[in-house]
Structure 1
């Protein structure tokens, strides 16, 4: 039959009067048909085979081949694999094109059908492939909605009580000490395989051995399954390790438990009984899952491009195609790929075949991808969508050059949108050839959003050990970790393949929502020739109970050699830009940005006019960041302080902490004499605030925008002789926002402080913020100008 079809196709081509051949695909087609418009084939794979036959018989026509895909849904039985056998040529490309801009869906999922009602709104469907062990899924979708796998708690997080009981006093020696890995492998790994829980949070539930625990650390997260529950000591032991022992980043680390029957208590939740091969679903009142389009992902990848070092996959294009429902795997461990052999060196009784978990570094680079390119060049995706996937939407990997994404959307992502490169930390030490590093790729007008649904440590767009790439006019938002991460090298003393990348005109917002040590733009290591130009980074707000900093931009270890020009930082609950070890603003070039690293923070040596036994000090400033609705926010933004540490006699200070304004005054020295006043919910965001403290040898008063609180101390205060520091944490958000300081040598009792001004006869000190260089910015206008541009913006759902 194939010979007949091939002959029919050749006949069509020979009769054609055009130089380009069209092959047609339709949901109602027939794979034994010729592939003409009147006789379309049924699958993309069959169209791919026809192209191969055409090339074998007659070569590519003058203008290449276009596979026209009619609107409809196409379910993959196996991932599409493209090899050099499928190649187009520079002027004769092979194009897979949806006939309509938004009508073609390629799915790697399976529809779950034949639901039966158990009781009330509890429904069950049997899945024989799960029972037989041939399939397992951890995601479920109802059309465009990601359903919630039954979890405890329903919202927010549980908190660990600390490390496993046996390691409560010694866990630190196993955290960073690699020597222990060889000397005490049992303890080294077991300290990573569990934690102590609060009473009642973990129980020996029905099917507890099928439960999965997501643990949030600081900049990375991990999945574990349960090996043992000790209810007496309140210890839970895992089948696989976390990257760091619980307790490394504080005793109270966040986690949640998924996939147990007891947790299915809200409409829209589901769980999978892998032993019985049954999926359970709790519907809303009146819903019938038999009338709903409910899908579970079946394949990990929609497609892959697999060339080799000598012959690459090239000159293929994909236009107007949507891809949905891809799976993800567990059983991945970046620190110990041979698990459990490592722990068995010290604990030989550890199970030989434990249930899988997931351990990875920041950015979750090993979590997988729905589309993978390796040894490919001149591949283009235009106006394509990738959503409802379990890991990254796409990885552009080894020896990939001139890959172009234009006007594509990636959303509802288990991981991130795009990973460009591979996680090689030290390419010299590991002898990684330079030609493996991808380069000269273009990501333009793409919209990446709503990521980290499974792997919250994944980033929106990650560039690692990759060079000469252009990322322009993309919008990236609502991610668990950073919006863009660039680098993947923690030292300046080794060669890196991460250089000459350009990030231009991107709009990055609402990122870093669940992880710490994150930012809108995050850089790691030396990045020679890298340019950030005209990007707008806004609404970078630290999530509840996150351990680690969250900033507008984060320059991590040894970051340097980056050129910043005309970038705008909007609201951030952390610093405008933070600098980690072995780096600082002097390692970069700054030009016409809306922040200025050349101005030193105000520090005033003591003089008599700065400190009086009875005094009033006033600070006028703006809160430029989103402080006010931050549940669990604990990092302090200082307005000012004087006289050293808070337990020093004469110390005073004012700060912002979340929605609170806090003032301190120490009269007499020691912690017991450090008095605190708090005003809640009276801060003005993006507006002028006036804080003032006063003391009259009896009453300590704190004024905040008209509100006042006071405390009786009734002791004579001894003026201090220490420095007066404004916004004294290294790159405090208020550093350039304190507009004016006024100090008076009396305790003024005006509640509103409205009468205090530089004309007062009791004024002994006045300071005004120097005018910053650079024009003031219109944030709304910047927002309109940054991000996705025509012509692709019109086809994206925003």
Structure 2
């Protein structure tokens, strides 16, 4: 932005329309007091890409557009939007995944314990043996990419080479864990012509320098609007150790269309960039933004203090919705859904981190996520009055709300429902206190249709109070390797069996009630759920 006298506010109003950015908008400490606003919220869109035109038939069912920059190796992308829809990438198999033959039996010693008992070799991180019949000599290595699924995260890696005699794929970059770790065998191959199995899918043919799309019924590619990303970040707000970026507002804009590289994203898909990023900043206001169709994070905010993120719609993303670390910042009234579409370890709202304190995450609605809804670390945070449902749909060892490496976090008056385990693995829960969670309070929360409402692992001196857990089947509360728990005034409503693992972790218990849905053989016995819930806590 232009130079101006210190302290003079500046307000930029962006008129309705679509604006394609060629470079990231960079804001720094010199922009203190700046406000960037849409003239009318929801009518102004900033896009980090370009239109794709010149579609021609490519075989009987497909259309292709020639992209010289792709052929030259100067443009690569993993996301395509056609007529306002984020399109599915070509994949093999068409559903779920293949099973590979790698074995990795080295024990995991926990995060606190340093991870793997033996460090994996480069070969163990970069090779995968596929089963006979899954792949063949038709596989184009310049196009193909592989997602290797682990327990709580995954690795997206390029294919460097394939030895069909030994059925071995060699990756172009290492996976985060060895294929086969945690007993997980699943993998998916992306971006091949053979993976186009239904209308609406696409792939980037790097070998020919074309993007190929299978139109849906009624789509005319001569009239269609197709967009592909070029940028990883649209807006960057960055201070430094000498001068923080401060007092900057972004309000009412729609941010869309960003890219990600092909690399392993790590826990929570945290290695990817955000459509809007901030670092070393304070007193920011991000308000009534819509962020959609982006490849990485919606927001990635690091060391951000005293700020406010409110009323934002963040949806249909490749990775996380909002990632934030810092102190004394509020995230409220946001709607986060359909995230992790490319990277299933993505978290809708990931907050805290070591050294952070005083965050308030409240009144947010979160749903349709492949992994956890909210995760949090650090001290003295509050997670209150959030509605979270249909989480944990792909990966394991997470929850609607998951906290670890933390002290004195208050989890209160949240509702979690419809959280189910996706196949064999470490499972899913509603409220999960993991390694080094200490002196936390889980109070007045509701879990409905969650068989495992409370999971606790390597945590201590925590309290569960006044919660209502409802299951139409069995129910389990677990306290593995935990100690010094207090359970008071909790209500459990279940139709099946109740299991409590490691009950010796509970040192004080009083006022807890269990309602069982039992009836004579042949008679129906609907659960009296509302009678068991505290006044005003009934989920909608």
* Change over 3 Å in CA distance of 1:209–1:289 after alignment to 2: same
| 1:68 maps onto 2:13 in alignment | yes
Equivalent of residue 567 in structure 1, options 434, 438, 445: 445
Once the two structures are superposed, the pairs formed by residues 283-432 of structure 1 within 5 Å of their partners are: 283-330=215-262, 357-358=263-264, 360=266, 362-398=267-303, 400-421=304-325
| 1:540 maps onto 2:419 in alignment | yes
Contact 2:495 2:518 in 1 (8 A): no
Q: Once the 2 structures are TM-superposed, how far is the Cα of residue 109 of structure 1 from its aligned partner?
A: 1.6
| 1:591 maps onto 2:468 in alignment | no
Q: Which deviations, in whole Å up to 9, do the C-alpha atoms of 1:517-539 show, x marking residues without a partner?
A: 011011113x2231112111111
Equivalent of residue 448 in structure 1, options 303, 325, 336: 336
Equivalent of residue 624 in structure 1, options 455, 467, 471: 471
Q: Report SS of the residue matched to 1:190.
A: helix
Equivalent of residue 96 in structure 1, options 27, 36, 61: 36
Aligned to 2:55: 115
Aligned to 1:477: 367
Q: Once the 2 structures are TM-superposed, how far is the Cα of residue 560 of structure 1 from its aligned partner?
A: 2.1
Which segments of 5 or more consecutive residues in structure 1 lack a partner in the other structure? 1-48, 89-93, 182-186, 331-356, 422-437, 488-497, 596-622, 628-635, 639-685, 690-725, 743-751, 755-770, 785-798
Q: Report SS of the residue matched to 1:249.
A: helix
* Change over 3 Å in CA distance of 1:213–1:308 after alignment to 2: same
**How far apart in 1 are the matches of 2:308 and 2:116?**
41
Q: Once the 2 structures are TM-superposed, how far is the Cα of residue 87 of structure 1 from its aligned partner?
A: 1.4
Higher RCO, 1 vs 2 (CA within 8 Å, ≥6 residues apart) = 2
* Change over 3 Å in CA distance of 1:122–1:780 after alignment to 2: farther
Q: TM-score, structure 2 length as denominator?
A: 0.86
Q: Once the 2 structures are TM-superposed, how far is the Cα of residue 146 of structure 1 from its aligned partner?
A: 1.1
* Change over 3 Å in CA distance of 1:141–1:228 after alignment to 2: same
Once the two structures are superposed, the pairs formed by residues 167-182 of structure 1 within 5 Å of their partners are: 168=103, 171-173=104-106, 181=119
Count of residues in Structure 1 that have an aligned counterpart in Structure 2: 506
Contact 1:456 1:514 in 2 (8 A): yes
Contact 2:338 2:367 in 1 (8 A): yes
| 1:776 maps onto 2:529 in alignment | no
* Change over 3 Å in CA distance of 1:480–1:753 after alignment to 2: closer
Q: Once the 2 structures are TM-superposed, how far is the Cα of residue 240 of structure 1 from its aligned partner?
A: 2.6
Q: Once the 2 structures are TM-superposed, how far is the Cα of residue 306 of structure 1 from its aligned partner?
A: 1.4
**How far apart in 2 are the matches of 1:478 and 1:514?**
10
Aligned to 1:657: none
| 1:556 maps onto 2:434 in alignment | yes
Aligned to 2:456: 579
Q: Report SS of the residue matched to 1:130.
A: helix
Q: Once the 2 structures are TM-superposed, how far is the Cα of residue 175 of structure 1 from its aligned partner?
A: 6.7
**How far apart in 2 are the matches of 1:196 and 1:82?**
47
Q: Once the 2 structures are TM-superposed, how far is the Cα of residue 206 of structure 1 from its aligned partner?
A: 4.5
Contact 2:198 2:214 in 1 (8 A): yes
Higher helix share: 1
**How far apart in 1 are the matches of 2:121 and 2:139?**
31
* Change over 3 Å in CA distance of 1:172–1:204 after alignment to 2: same
Once the two structures are superposed, the pairs formed by residues 128-527 of structure 1 within 5 Å of their partners are: 128-160=68-100, 162-163=101-102, 168=103, 171-173=104-106, 181=119, 188-250=121-183, 253-330=185-262, 357-358=263-264, 360=266, 362-398=267-303, 400-421=304-325, 438-463=326-351, 464-465=353-354, 466-487=356-377, 498-525=378-405, 527=406
Contact 2:246 2:283 in 1 (8 A): yes
| 1:727 maps onto 2:480 in alignment | no
| 1:125 maps onto 2:31 in alignment | no
Q: Report SS of the residue matched to 1:363.
A: helix
**How far apart in 2 are the matches of 1:552 and 1:418?**
20
* Change over 3 Å in CA distance of 1:116–1:503 after alignment to 2: same
* Change over 3 Å in CA distance of 1:85–1:178 after alignment to 2: same
* Change over 3 Å in CA distance of 1:175–1:287 after alignment to 2: same
Contact 1:367 1:392 in 2 (8 A): yes
Contact 2:108 2:117 in 1 (8 A): no
Contact 1:180 1:188 in 2 (8 A): no
* Change over 3 Å in CA distance of 1:289–1:782 after alignment to 2: farther
Q: Report SS of the residue matched to 2:176.
A: coil
Q: Report SS of the residue matched to 2:79.
A: coil
Higher strand share: 2
**How far apart in 2 are the matches of 1:637 and 1:538?**
14
Q: Which deviations, in whole Å up to 9, do the C-alpha atoms of 1:572-618 show, x marking residues without a partner?
A: 1x41101113x36xx212332225xxxxxxxxxxxxxxxxxxxxxxx
**How far apart in 1 are the matches of 2:272 and 2:338?**
17
Contact 2:471 2:495 in 1 (8 A): no
Aligned to 1:490: none
**How far apart in 2 are the matches of 1:122 and 1:380?**
45
**How far apart in 2 are the matches of 1:739 and 1:124?**
58
Q: Which has the larger radius of gyration?
A: 1
Q: Once the 2 structures are TM-superposed, how far is the Cα of residue 99 of structure 1 from its aligned partner?
A: 1.1
Q: TM-score, structure 1 length as denominator?
A: 0.59
Once the two structures are superposed, the pairs formed by residues 695-710 of structure 1 within 5 Å of their partners are: none
Contact 2:90 2:193 in 1 (8 A): yes
Q: Report SS of the residue matched to 1:191.
A: helix
Contact 2:89 2:191 in 1 (8 A): yes
Q: Report SS of the residue matched to 2:247.
A: strand
Aligned to 2:22: 77
CA RMSD of aligned residues (A): 2.9
* Change over 3 Å in CA distance of 1:737–1:254 after alignment to 2: farther
* Change over 3 Å in CA distance of 1:397–1:738 after alignment to 2: same
**How far apart in 2 are the matches of 1:301 and 1:416?**
14
Q: Once the 2 structures are TM-superposed, how far is the Cα of residue 368 of structure 1 from its aligned partner?
A: 2.2
* Change over 3 Å in CA distance of 1:537–1:728 after alignment to 2: closer
Q: Report SS of the residue matched to 1:85.
A: helix
Contact 1:121 1:284 in 2 (8 A): no
Q: Which deviations, in whole Å up to 9, do the C-alpha atoms of 1:645-698 show, x marking residues without a partner?
A: xxxxxxxxxxxxxxxxxxxxxxxxxxxxxxxxxxxxxxxxx9968xxxxxxxxx
**How far apart in 2 are the matches of 1:291 and 1:741?**
62
Q: Which moved more, 1:291-300 or 1:148-157?
A: 148-157
**How far apart in 1 are the matches of 2:516 and 2:535?**
20
Contact 2:369 2:392 in 1 (8 A): yes
